[in-house]
Amino acid sequence: MKNILKVFNTMILALIIIIATFSNTANAADSGTLNYEVYKYNTNDTSIANDYFNKPAKYIKKNGKLYVQITVNHSHWITGMSIEGHKERIISKNTAKDERTSEFEVSKLNGKIDGKIDVYIDEKVNGKPFKYDHHYNITYKFNGPSDVAGANAPGKDDKNSASGSDKGSDGATTGQSESNSSNKDKVENPQTNAGTPAYIYAIPVASLALLIAITLFVRKKSKGNVE
């Protein structure tokens, strides 16, 4: 009887370890960090807005959908953002650092994705009065994992593409303008994915069934009912 209990306890401990290991693996695969750059719209040229985005970003996969969490500095200058038509959902603010972290639904974590940014500045910059009010398209270049797919579809923005010139802190146009285009690139159709692999759910069920079977066996054995 003691030997049976030892085997029973060992199997229970093994099942707990297996379940915990697979759960941690699934969670690790569904979140992480990714590096990225901000380009002038539909180009490979770095936008001057790139300096206002902290790196890296964080990605999360939940309910089969992908999300990125991006932190911007000079937060009070950036009055609005969207990625693939999905407006930002602010999840945290740091007033002291003038930073905020926003979450966006995205269709992929690797490659180019279109976005929009609204910038409003009306204050002294480098000791000089500076006023800047503009809305323009940008392109994010994500360098995240290419094997993490989501079921996301690009959202619909209520504004068409807008463009303008990047300006330096002295208010003069730098000549590095964000390109003006009303024709957006087609977004690749993401592979549909139900989210967490099915085996993650199957393991606890199988473990529970095995636990019940072992429990019944031990009870029968203790009563001398096992042949």
Q: Binding site for heme, residues? A: 47-48, 132, 136
Q: What is the pLDDT of residue 195?
A: 41
User: What are the backbone angles phi and psi of residue 223, rounded to the nearest 5°?
Assistant: -90, -5
Binding residues: 47-48, 132, 136
Q: Is residue 201 very low, low, confident or very high in pLDDT (cuts 50, 70, 90)? A: low
**Whether the model pTM is above 0.75:** no
pLDDT in tens, 18-53: 665 555 444 445 899 999 999 999 999 999 999 999
Tokens matching residue 51: 């300096």
pLDDT tops 90 at residue 75: yes
Q: Under 8 Å CB-to-CB from 145, ≥6 apart: which residues?
A: 32, 34, 109, 110
Across all residues in the chain, what is the average pLDDT? Answer: 76
| Nearest partner of 133 among 121, 141, 116, 150, judged by Cα | 121
The reported pLDDT for the residue numbered 161 is 42
pLDDT score, position 181 = 35
CATH classification (class only), 27-143: mainly beta
Give the range among 19-33, 73-87, 171-185 with minimum mean pLDDT. Answer: 171-185
* DSSP category for residue 128: E
Ranges of each domain in the chain: 27-143
Length of the chain: 227
- pLDDT of 13 reads 67
Look at residue 160 and tell me whether its pLDDT is greater than 70.
Answer: no
In tens, the pLDDT along 132-153 reads: 999 999 999 999 998 877 666 5
Residue 220: the pLDDT is: 73
